[in-house]
Amino acid sequence: MLIGVLLGIAAGALWGLIYIAPLLLPQYNPVLVALGRFIAFGLVSLPFMFFMKEDLKRFTKPDIIEAFRLPFFGNVVFYSLITVCIRMSGAPLAGMFMAVIPVLVAIVANVRYQREGRGLSWGSITPPLVLIFFGLVIANWTEFQYITSSGSTGLDFWIGVLFGIAAVISWTWFSIMNGEWLLAHPKHSSSAWTALQGVTVLPVVMIAFAILAWPCGWMDTSVSLLGETPLRFLGVALMIGLLCSWVAMLCWNQMSQRLPSGLGGQLIVFESISAVVYALIWRGEWPTITMVIGFTILLVGVMCSLYVFGKSPAKKEDESKKACAAPSKAAKPEEKLEGEAA
């Protein structure tokens, strides 16, 4: 369990770097930067496909479809939706939606667990989730005040709200379904699964990038293909594609094979923490008192959640599935010998 938690924290720390990328490329549209990241993710994944040929042979056609569907909605669609939300309603509101995600993941996952007879009681799960939610809200309280002071109350604001809600739904679905798929397929390599995810979304994001980068002014891109500073753009895209997509997704997938999706999904809070820390370092500022108090409450909530989910029936059942999967290979030679003896 500890290794799974550390992997989740590592993924969040790497994903936090994503929010620094637009600061490194201020002249580029954030959507183009995001698509450049996913193109780099796919290109970095291609060499791994060659070295993992044996592992990749185990994937069926439905597995390949799932490898495309999950990262497409959980990464490409989510990041695009939250970017539009930021542009139309402001970063503070987008931050509030991000605060909802870990709580919603735990609630939806627990509802699914209860239907299977392995869920936690709401009395035990509610206190840590309340701490996590209010910790994130307090940590971002200064930013949230700008929602009312900005005067963004027109149609654009409410359209941005809808995009934010869609982003929350998209990532919640991805976190739960990706985790459950990996737990249901313990024999599959998480490295091969990560490479497959990167390669399957590559054609789509390349087409989307070509359309958005075309100098037609749509989405306010106003740049030609690689823009004014192509080498800088390629360098940043490769960096976030390798670290924020390939390595981060590998950590997240390995975490998902070790922890129930209800717990693993909550570790996305470390993306928010890391993003704030990196932004403060970039601006050369100290955290406000509300940030310190909020993140302290948040970490207490995460620790309480680890304790509660550590005793959950879902975790014990997932561990038993892994234990049963291991001896299955050894059973086959015995069955073969019995058949020869007969």
In a domain, 324, yes or no: no
Contact status, residue 14 vs residue 251, Cβ threshold 8 Å: yes
The Cα–Cα gap between 71 and 256 comes to 14
Tell me the C-alpha to C-alpha distance, in Å, between residue 163 and each of 5, 80, 166, 176, 189: 30, 9, 5, 20, 34
Res. 250: pLDDT tops 60: yes
Q: What share of the chain in percent tops pLDDT 90?
A: 20
In a domain, 12, yes or no: yes
- Which residue, among 129, 142, 65, has the nearest Cα to 102 in the 3D structure? 129
In a domain, 332, yes or no: no
In a domain, 275, yes or no: yes
Phi/psi class of residue 257: alpha, beta or left (left: φ > 0; alpha: ψ in -120 to 50)? alpha
Contact status, residue 8 vs residue 252, Cβ threshold 8 Å: yes
pLDDT of residue 100: 82
The Cα–Cα gap between 58 and 192 comes to 10
The total domain count for the chain is 1
Residue type, 103: V
44-95, pLDDT tens digit by residue? 999 988 888 888 888 999 999 999 999 999 888 888 888 788 777 776 677 7
145-200, pLDDT tens digit by residue? 655 555 555 677 788 889 989 999 999 999 899 988 988 888 888 889 999 999 99
In a domain, 223, yes or no: no
In a domain, 203, yes or no: yes
State the residue range of the domain holding 106: 1-218+228-313
Angle at which helix 190-213 crosses helix 61-71, to 10 degrees, equals 50
The Cα–Cα gap between 211 and 206 comes to 9
Please give the model's pTM, rounded to 2 decimal places.
0.78
32-42, pLDDT tens digit by residue? 778 888 899 99
In a domain, 323, yes or no: no
In a domain, 255, yes or no: yes
The Cα–Cα gap between 81 and 189 comes to 30
